[in-house]
Each structure stands twice: as structure tokens, then as C-alpha cells.
Structure 1
Amino acid sequence: MRQRMVRYVSSLVRWLSTMKYLNRWIVLVLDLSLSLLSAIVSYLLVLAFLQIQFNRGELYRFVCFALGAGLLIQLVFKLYRGIIRHASIQEASRLLAALFCKELILLIAILLYSGFSSQWLAIVLLDLLISFFLVISVRALLVSIYFTLVGGNLNGNRLLFIYGTDNHSIALINWFRSGALHPYVAVGLLSTDMSQSGLRIGGLPVFAISTPDSFRKLLTHVRLQTVMFPDYATVQHERNRFVEVCLQSNIELLVAPPVELLDNPEKAREHMREIKIEDLLGREQISINMDEISSVLKEEVILVTGAAGSIGSEICRLLASIRVKQLILFDNAETPMHDLRLEIQDRYPMQSFVPIIGDVRIKSRLEFVFTKYAPTVVFHAAAYKHVPLMEEYPCEAIRTNVDGTRKLADMSVLHSVKRFIMISTDKAVNPTNVMGASKRIAEMYVQSLSFKIDEARGKTQFITTRFGNVLGSNGSVVARFREQIRRGGPVTVTHPDIFRYFMTIPEASRLVLEAVTLGRGGEIFVFDMGEPVKIADMARRMIQLAGLIPDEQVKVVFAGLRPGEKLYEELLTDSEFTVPTRHPKIRIAKVRRYEWNEVSTAVDQLIRMAESEESEQVIRLMKKLVPEFISNHSPYEIYDPKN
């Protein structure tokens, strides 16, 4: 019998600990029962205190009035719909207001039935106090029982510490208690304030950690699987301290959603995310003035080439978010274009847009777009970007990166486009590969055309933006590393000392839009890329973020530099210098001026060679046009000038 009772109680505990919430009708019956108990106790206490003779019929009538008033208030305020374990100060205020209304209805009913007396006024006031005490106490007891059961049933859950003790962190405690974050269970808070050691906030203990060593020491005494940071700024601030310790200890790292979303647990979970390598760049997030950008672009018909690519699609999202007059999506990639179309339809239903499958190398297709839709602003993001492939196919690099740019730029002038924004790359600076050199030649053509238009008092402003590698873009090193880690390694890095500048897709896209407000025509804008990142360190950090140990569970191997690759990228050539703009992260590169007639003639010749598949002649002419183009780890080194 005893064993059967133990099994029954254990089953009940498991059932209660896994319940999502208490049934609303149970809550209704519970509250009405408390109302009944409060009415009886209030009546008996007042009669005993005033030494009035007990009247059973009078008690029955009072209890019926109390139940009726309680049921009416429940239906009006819908108190039974609340999830008890989500209770807050606001909920307590709402309960008090509902109980006050109940007692007011009860007092009016009594006055209408038997007239005013101090006895009934005392009973009603006491009923208000007792009802509020019982309702709050029972709710607190249920919350305590629930979290005691959950806290004692941690098998299969991930124990999580919240970093910080500010209001956001305290709000997170209540969010975790909602149960919406299963299997995560918050068991403590981390604070750098040593005076908070040993305190309890929101029922959770505070562990003070002033240094990475004190954090490591804590990890030897407590079971910790996950740390949640309140925001990205905190992650950046603690990047070289506690974040590094977490990575070394294979602790999962999360970033909390904004505090304003915590009232909606399910929506908040959608905005919670794991910390990625993008969050550990060691740079502040770049901010831009979207209101100013909106004022410049809102009434424009905007064409985005390469719209389905990483940068192009993000530019489209930003433009759709400010709801420009019309958005023309242009790309030759069918499936990514289809996906982007569905996304914009879902996320920006009010935005007018047209997806167009086409190739910037086909003049007739460009003529169709410009004639039918009359774009007033062009963002040119279409390009071939992979260095090793373009080393193998230099003629294709010229057809797309140079001829495609030339045709699009010429068409923009012909149709009086207001602004033409070309997206370039840091690989165009002192290029060591075909891809970088082709983008530099495209820059030269666009800039020389801008000077020609300016002299002829033309309408089109040509603006070039130049930045480094984009984290998370299609085919990027981050995507490759992530897939290699998923397969168990090895992670291949070309060289132990290779460095690259990195920027996130949103940062790069926002700065491209910001450049639109700064440009007057002919500029090459250079973005502040922060400090260069060592690729080998990035690979190891990504392995740690995956909860694995670098060089033990996942190997990092070095495959050697690829054709055309160099150890360091640059944003400016040796002969260039920059001048500031009003945006602290954007500068203007002062470069040599090229005459359009000279550049156009050379580009015509280069394109004819590319169309005839004369790869050797293409390389020779590219090196003549861009004297700083010195091949590296490439068969084209034989065409470099001999020292």
C-alpha cells in the first residue's frame, strides 16, 4: 500500500512538473472557492467581534451574493484566463481592482436587500482584505510548488545562468519561469559586482565573478551548461574575458531577446539566438540614420542587380522596410530569386516590387527593364566574387564584372538615372588576383564615366563603395567552416597567418545605403572594417561555439594559399589617401583620375578579347590597365613585370 502511494505521488509530481498551465476552469473554481471561504470567515469574525447572534439564513444570503458577485467579476475581468506562474505586480494590481469591484457590487446588493448598516460595511471591507490575501497567497503557493517541482526535476534540462543583475536580467527570470524556454532552466545570476555575492534576486542566487580566473573557479563548483547575455553590447564588452572562458569550457552562449518582447514568451523565444562568430568580431555595431536614408530614397524607383545575393538581398530588405516607391529585383539565379520574392511578399506586403530574371551582360534585357520600369536609382551588386574560380576563368570575370558594369552604367546614363551605386571590394586594392583586378577596372570605368558626365552637366551621380569580406554571405569562409564542423572536421584554413577584414551583411548593406546620402558623384567610399581577423583564430572560435574542442575533437589543418590569394587585404592602395565624411565609419578614397576616352577604349579591347576567350591576352591587358596587379600564387605571375 505504501509503495503504491509513493508511486502515485511520484506520478503526480511528474505530471504537475510537466503541465504547461493550470486549466482555466480549475482557476475559476479555485477563485470562487476562495471567495466562498472569505465570505464565511468575514461574516463569522464580524459577528463574533460585535457579539451579534448568528443567523444561518442571513449567512446563506450573503454567501450567495458573494458567489454571484465573484462570478460576475470573473467573467468581466477574465481572471481565470491568466497563467498563474506568469503572475506579476501588474497582475496583482488587476486582481485588487477586480476584488474591489466585486465588494462594491456585493455592498450594493446588500443595501438593496436589507438597507445600510455598519455591520455589513465591516463585513464587506473585511471580505475585501481576506479575499485579496487568500487569492495572492494561493497564487504564490502554486508558483512556489511549480518551481520547486521543476527545480527538482532537472534531468534532461540545460542549466542556465543569466549574466547581469539589472532590470533586463530580472525580467529574464520571469520569462524563464513561463516555461516557454524548455529545456533551459535558469538557476543563477552572474555579476561582476563582488558586493552582490551571496544575494538572491528573484529567488535565484547571485554568483560574483570579478575576473576570468574567478569565473573558472566557479565552474569547478557549479554545474553550468549555458550562459545568456542580455544584449550584443555585453557580449562585445566581455568578449576577451568571460566569453572566452565560456568558449574554452564548451559552455553554450545565448543572447536574450529585447526586454519589450518578454511579455510574449513565444515571440521572445523567436528572437533569442545563439552567439555566432559575427558577434565576436571585436567591433561596435555600426549605426546609420535610416530616417535620412528614407527621405532620400522613399519616392524612388530602385533597381537592385544581384538582388538575390547576400548583399543584394539585404539591401532589398532595407529598402522594402522604408517602403520605396517601387523595388525592381534583378538577378539570374532562379531559386534564390524565388525565395526572396516569397520573403518580401510575407514580410513587406505593402511594398511594390517586381522580380526579374536577367543577366547584366545582356544589353537587350537591361533595355527592357529601364524602358518599362524607369528606375531612378541603381544599386549594382551583381558580380563574380570567388577568387579561385575567377583565376581559372578570367574571361568570365571580365564579361560579368567589367562588361556587365559598363552596360549597366551606360544604360543608367542613357535613361537619366539619378544615382548609380557600385558595390566593390577590398580585393580591388593592389590586386593579386583576376577577381580583384576586374573589380578595379570596373571602378575605373564607373569613376571615369562620372567625371565625363559631370563635365557634360549630366544627371547621373556615380558612387562606389568598397569594403572587405562579409560574414555569412553565400559561399563565405564562415559557411564553409560551419559545414566542416558539422561533418566533424577537419576545418581547412589556407595559411596559419592569413588575415582578413570582416563585416556583417547588415552592417555592409546599411553603409551602402548611407553612402547614397553622402555621395555627390565620383567618390569611392571606404568603410571602416575594424581590426583584421586571423582566419585560424576564427576557425577555432567557431569550433568552440559549436561546443567542441579545437585540434582535439575537430582538427584545424592548413592547405596552403590558393591561386591569387594573399595574406593581407588592403582597403587603400599605397598612392591613395582618404578624407573623412560626416559618418565616422565612412571615408572617401582620393584616387588617381582616369579619362573616360582612355578607359573606355581599353575596356572595349579587353571585352573583345574576353569574348574571343583569349585568356592570356586578357591577363596581359589587365596588368597594363592596373599596374599594381601583381599575381600571387598564380600561373599568371609569368606576366608580371620583371624587377
Structure 2
Amino acid sequence: MPRFWKRVFLIALDIASLIFALWASYAIRLSVWTPEVTGERLLLAAFAPVVAIPVFIRLGLYRSVIRYLPEAAIWTILKAMLIATMSWVIIIFLVEMAGQGIVPRSVPFLYFVLGTLLIGGLRFAAKWLLVSGTGLRRNEEPVFIYGAGPAAAQLGRALRGHGNRYVMGLIDDDPASQGRDIGGYRVFSSSDLPFLIERYGIKEIILSMSAIPVAKRPAVLTRLTELGVKIRSLPDISDLVDGRYIVSQIREIEIDELLGRSCVPADTTLLDKAISGKVVMVTGAGGSIGSELCRLIVRRKPKTLILFEASEYALYKIEQELLAVSPQHIVPVLGSVTDAKTVERAIRTHGVEVLYHAAAHKHVPLVEANVLEGIRNNVFGTLTVAKIAAAQNVESFVLISSDKAVRPTNVMGATKRWAELVVRQMAIEAQTRPEKQVFCAVRFGNVIGSNGSVVPLFKQQIAKGGPVTVTDPDMTRYFMAIPEAAELIVQAGALSVGGDVFLLDMGDPVRIGDLAENMIRLAGFQVRNSKSPDSGIAIEVIGKRPGEKLFEELFYDHNNSRPTSHPKIMRADAMAGASCDIDQWLRDLKEAVETEDEARARDLLFALISAEDPPKQVVEHG
């Protein structure tokens, strides 16, 4: 119904209510159901709504949307009825002065009380009918809210009449809150969840994150994922700008929340020191890490940001994204890091001061199947960019490395270790020059959601109904979020004095089998196993692929690592234990690549690492 006709209907309802209130006032005062109807009484009855309706309009009783009528509106209704009654009393006084009859003194009082009850009661009754719902009638899905704080109560109010969720109650671990009513909802114990889910047919639980301490969130999430319902979360109430957006902020739980990594706020001083007001270049700008670095950099207001990328589509995509949110000068450069002329022109033309080298082939099986291309891009691409950066007096060069560079068993990891050794060599040479140049590497594990990583693959497989394929359920990997990795990379670069290999704190390694099970449960499905062989999503073990390790490491030697001023960043002195100049090794490797001798190239890759790096001192199981 159009808004105009809704107001007309409401005015008509108020007129009828006021006339009924006046009739009831006379009936109560005179103790008869059918008071005598006279001309004076009909005239006064007509005046009652005539003076009341303009007052109601002036005080905004017809501007409010009944569905979202606040409880505080009762005070506006009381004020409106009081003014309307007093205006009507003045008319009564004038009528009595004219000798047209006498109105009993209690009638105006009864009229005020009954009119307030009818005008207010009908509005709040209509609101209750509009927003309460029955589940079946409005096709609503029953949900529970985990948490009993202010954010949970506000969420419950916002969900009334909005969308297709019907809040059955609140869940809380605090015994003091259990059994109480908060915001009109009963608070239940988390231990009762299995029974409550079965009784009410719950398919979804919404977490009010501000009501759950950070230290307890992983345990809560782990417990909830075992219940076979979908889990969503609500951000802290302080993060919501306007209450009407509260429902749209409900989102699915991400896997990084389940890992329980403690978050350390970025040191803005280090970020500004590294990039603010400087000409910054990012190679591999369209990749997972490269694009996140670019998003971070533009927020710190660099003088110029050069996007260097070999993929035309990836370059176009990140350029358009950055131009839409930032007025800074952004320069896209299409080219490969193995093309020395293109790299040199980009650095020289724009006067690059800071360079983040993120361009690399990182997919282990693909690089294992394309050894020569992996070496050409990861090793000689790094050598090309680093040499040109040194010749063009770039102040800071940061290599994005990988935990697979530690005692590598695959070509990708070996090429990243060679890249680290190339950067170390450039750092040694930089110390002999008068210009202050810093060359360093930052080594970390997997980032959640990166191109080619296991998390997006698992999501796709779950969306298709499975099975979820894992190489080995006992395999462990380190994981961190892409934005956190980008922040730590920039901060590590700002801490470098040259020749460093920075190690990012990745937390505890995650078992791949547990990761797959948790992602299945987070999506609201059960894991198909011996306990439930006929339902859920199955996990299929396909075996390790060529070159894959069961465990990953971040250190060659724990004793060579030192803390920095940042609690999530450690420094390993790459100069320590440097035993040989790799120039001859590079010449031999280049010859093998140019002659397409893949077997010799592979042998050279691992031969240098065996000669350069110490053997492992502690033998791990597996």
C-alpha cells in the first residue's frame, strides 16, 4: 500500500478510537452502556478528533513507520493526547459558558486515559504483529545468537521483521547470564546447544564477536563447528557506523578466525618510514601478495606507485581497483621481470626508491613440471631486478620469499632459496659502495586465500558437494591472512639494515586434515566418515605430489634468529655462515637453462643449497 493511504487509514483509525474513548468515558462515568445521546454531546464528540488530529500531525505521530516504532514513542503519544485533551477541555468550557450543557468533570480525565491506551496500544500491537512472525507463516529460519552483550541484544532487535531469520534466544557461557531475559530473549547455556538445535531445528548460529573474549574464540568456534550448523559472525558493535547496517554486517566465519592467530596492530611509524612520500615499485603487482601490498601502499600516500606485472588482465584489474579508491599517481607497467630493458626503464624513468619483489612462480606442482621456466623467472628474474635496483641506487629492495626455501625438496623452494642467496650477494656488494642501499628478504608460509592455495580449492570443492581432496591429512602448513602478511612485509623492510632474512611469526602449524574438516563444518555440513557414512561431504586422500614436504620450516638455524622491535617479526643474519660466492654457480645455471639441460639445472639448484646451507641438526618425525 502507498505511504499516503497508510496514513489515511491510520488517521481514520485514530478518529474511531477517539470517538470510542469518548463514548466509553461517558459510559463509565454514568454507569450505563448506552448514555443518552444529545445534540451537545454529539457536537463535543465531533470536536474531540477535530482538535486531536492536527495535534497528532504536528507532533509527528503519522511520520513514524509502525514496524520500526521505538518504545520511546509512548512519551510522544502521551504528550499528544495531553495537548489534545486540554484543547478539548477548553472547547467544553466555552460550550458550558454558552449554556449548552455540562460535561461531568471526570469525563476528560477518562477520555485522556482511554485515548492514550487506544492510540498507543493499537500502534504497538500493529508493530508486534508486523515483526514477531511465527516462522512457518513468514518462512523464517530459527537462529540463535551466541553472546549476551549489548551487541547481541541490538542484533536481536534489528533482526525482528528483517529478512528471514527468527531469533529463538541467546547463548552464553556465563552462568550469571543464563536463565535471564535480555532484550526480550531467554539466555541459554552453551552446553544445551545440541538439545536446542534438535528441538528448534536450528540451521545457523550468529556469533556476537564483541561478547566473546579473543582468547576463547578459537575454542568456541571449534566447539560450534562440530554441531553441524552454519556459523556466522557479527563484528564488534564499535565497528558499525550506523545501527541500520547491523544486519548486513553478518558474515560467514572465515577460516583464519578458526586458526586463532593473535593480531598485533601495525606500527604506523614503520609503515610511513618505509613508503610514505616515496616512489614505490611492486613486481608481481597483480598477484595475491603483490596486490595486497599495493592496497596497503596507496593508503600510506606514496609519491608514486609503479605496478609491474606480466599478466595483462591482472595488471588491469589491480590498476582499476586502486584508481577507484585513491587519487595517488599510479603507473601500470606491463612486462616480465626477466626483461632487463623493461625493468631498467621502469626504475630509471620514475626514480624508484623502494622496491618490493613479489613476482614469482609459486605453485609447487606446476614449477616442478616446468623446471626451466621456474628457474628463469624465480632465480634470474630476481637477479635481473636486484642488479638493476643496485645500479639505479634504489634505497630499499625487499624480496618476498617462502618457508619452502628452508631445506627445499622441490624446485619452487630451491629457486626461492637461490633468490635469497642472490639478495644476500647484492647486500654484500652494497656494503662496499658509498650509497646507502638495503637488500633484504622476508620469509613466511602460506597466505589464506592466495592464488593456487589450498583454502580456495577446498571452498570450491565444498560448494560442489565434495569430495574435498587432501594430499596427506597429517601434512602441516603455516597460514596467515594476506593483509597481515602485507603489513608485516612492509614493516620488516623498514627494520632492515641490509643482508637480513626476516621471518614472520606464523603461529602454530595447521594440520591439513583438520583444516579440511573445519572448513566443511564451517559451511554447515557434516564430515562423511564411519560415524555418518551416508551423509555429509567426504574427504579423499590423493597422496603427496612430487616435491611436497610433510612439514614446513621457517628456520635453518633457530640460534641464528633474533627478535626485532616488532613482536611478529624475527631477524636472521643472512651474512652469517656465508661460505661462497654464487657468481660462478649462476653462470653454470644460466648455461644449463639456455641449453635447456633440465637435469643439470635441477642438479645445480640443489647442489648449491647442499654446499651453502648446514644440515638439519634436529630430526623431525615424518
TM-score by length of 1: 0.80
Which residue in 1 is equivalent to 2:401?
Answer: 424
Give 1:358 shift. 1.4
Residue aligned with 1:194, SS: coil
Residue aligned with 1:335, SS: helix
Which residue in 1 is equivalent to 2:56?
Answer: 70
Which residue in 2 is equivalent to 1:627?
Answer: 610
The answer on whether the counterparts of 1:432 and 1:565 sit within 8 Å (CA) in structure 2 is yes
2:70 is matched with which residue: 58, 81, 88? 88
1:143 is matched with which residue: 117, 127, 146? 127
Segment drifting more, 543-552 vs 26-35: 26-35
CA gap of 1:232–1:366, structure 2 versus 1, over 3 A, is: farther
Give 1:110 shift. 11
Structure-2 separation of matches of 1:125 and 1:396: 92
Give 1:625 shift. 2.1
Which residue in 2 is equivalent to 1:375?
Answer: 352
The answer on whether the counterparts of 1:162 and 1:227 sit within 8 Å (CA) in structure 2 is yes
Give 1:398 shift. 1.8
CA gap of 1:159–1:262, structure 2 versus 1, over 3 A, is: farther
Give 1:439 shift. 0.8
Give the share of equivalent positions with the same residue, in percent. 31
Residue aligned with 1:626, SS: helix
Give 1:524 shift. 1.4
For 1:335-364, what per-residue CA distance to the aligned partner results, in whole angstroms no more than 9, with x for missing partners? 233332332233x14343223221111111
Structure-2 separation of matches of 1:98 and 1:522: 74
Give 1:378 shift. 1.4
For 1:400-440, what per-residue CA distance to the aligned partner results, in whole angstroms no more than 9, with x for missing partners? 11111122122222332222221111111111111111111
Give 1:575 shift. 6.8
The answer on whether the counterparts of 2:145 and 2:171 sit within 8 Å (CA) in structure 1 is yes
CA gap of 1:481–1:56, structure 2 versus 1, over 3 A, is: closer
The answer on whether the counterparts of 1:498 and 1:534 sit within 8 Å (CA) in structure 2 is yes
Structure-2 separation of matches of 1:64 and 1:207: 51
Which residue in 1 is equivalent to 2:180?
Answer: 199
Trace 1:222-621 onto structure 2 (pairs within 5 A). Answer: 222-231=200-209, 234=212, 237-238=215-216, 241-259=219-237, 267-290=245-268, 292-294=270-272, 296-346=274-324, 348-546=325-523, 547-551=525-529, 552=533, 553-574=536-557, 577-593=560-576, 598-621=581-604
Give 1:310 shift. 0.9
Structure-2 separation of matches of 1:232 and 1:98: 36
Does residue 190 (structure 1) correspond to residue 174 (structure 2)? The answer is no
The answer on whether the counterparts of 2:218 and 2:259 sit within 8 Å (CA) in structure 1 is no
Task: Read off the aligned partner of 1:570 and give its amino acid letter.
Answer: E
Structure-2 separation of matches of 1:125 and 1:460: 88
Give 1:473 shift. 0.8
Structure-2 separation of matches of 1:313 and 1:25: 53
For 1:100-148, what per-residue CA distance to the aligned partner results, in whole angstroms no more than 9, with x for missing partners? 5998899899999x99x9x9xx999999988776554333212222234
CA gap of 1:261–1:514, structure 2 versus 1, over 3 A, is: closer
The answer on whether the counterparts of 1:296 and 1:517 sit within 8 Å (CA) in structure 2 is yes
CA gap of 1:462–1:187, structure 2 versus 1, over 3 A, is: same
CA gap of 1:373–1:146, structure 2 versus 1, over 3 A, is: same
Structure 1, unmatched stretches of 5+, are: 1-20, 631-643
The answer on whether the counterparts of 2:218 and 2:257 sit within 8 Å (CA) in structure 1 is no
Residue aligned with 1:354, SS: strand
Structure-2 separation of matches of 1:417 and 1:404: 17
CA gap of 1:402–1:202, structure 2 versus 1, over 3 A, is: same
Give 1:321 shift. 3.0
Residue aligned with 1:406, SS: helix
CA gap of 1:462–1:286, structure 2 versus 1, over 3 A, is: same
Give 1:172 shift. 0.7
The answer on whether the counterparts of 1:540 and 1:550 sit within 8 Å (CA) in structure 2 is no
Give 1:372 shift. 2.9
Task: Read off the aligned partner of 1:215 and give its amino acid letter.
Answer: L
The answer on whether the counterparts of 2:148 and 2:170 sit within 8 Å (CA) in structure 1 is yes
TM-score by length of 2: 0.83
Residue aligned with 1:417, SS: coil
Task: Read off the aligned partner of 1:409 and give its amino acid letter.
Answer: A
Which residue in 2 is equivalent to 1:639?
Answer: none
CA gap of 1:515–1:103, structure 2 versus 1, over 3 A, is: farther
Residue aligned with 2:503, SS: strand
Which residue in 1 is equivalent to 2:159?
Answer: 176
Segment drifting more, 452-461 vs 360-369: 452-461
Give 1:297 shift. 2.2
Structure-1 separation of matches of 2:295 and 2:598: 38
Give 1:191 shift. 1.4
Segment drifting more, 429-438 vs 245-254: 245-254
Give 1:542 shift. 1.9
Give 1:325 shift. 2.8
Segment drifting more, 596-605 vs 305-314: 596-605
CA gap of 1:460–1:178, structure 2 versus 1, over 3 A, is: farther
CA gap of 1:555–1:59, structure 2 versus 1, over 3 A, is: closer
Structure 2, unmatched stretches of 5+, are: 30-38, 97-102, 614-622
The answer on whether the counterparts of 2:147 and 2:172 sit within 8 Å (CA) in structure 1 is yes
Give 1:564 shift. 1.4
CA gap of 1:233–1:202, structure 2 versus 1, over 3 A, is: closer
Structure-2 separation of matches of 1:67 and 1:108: 11
Give 1:628 shift. 6.7
RMSD across aligned C-alpha pairs, in angstroms? Answer: 4.0
Structure-1 separation of matches of 2:586 and 2:559: 23
The answer on whether the counterparts of 2:135 and 2:141 sit within 8 Å (CA) in structure 1 is no
Q: What count of residue pairs does the alignment treat as equivalent?
A: 592
1:165 is matched with which residue: 148, 152, 168? 148
Structure-2 separation of matches of 1:152 and 1:203: 21
Residue aligned with 2:502, SS: strand
The answer on whether the counterparts of 1:449 and 1:596 sit within 8 Å (CA) in structure 2 is no
CA gap of 1:151–1:616, structure 2 versus 1, over 3 A, is: closer
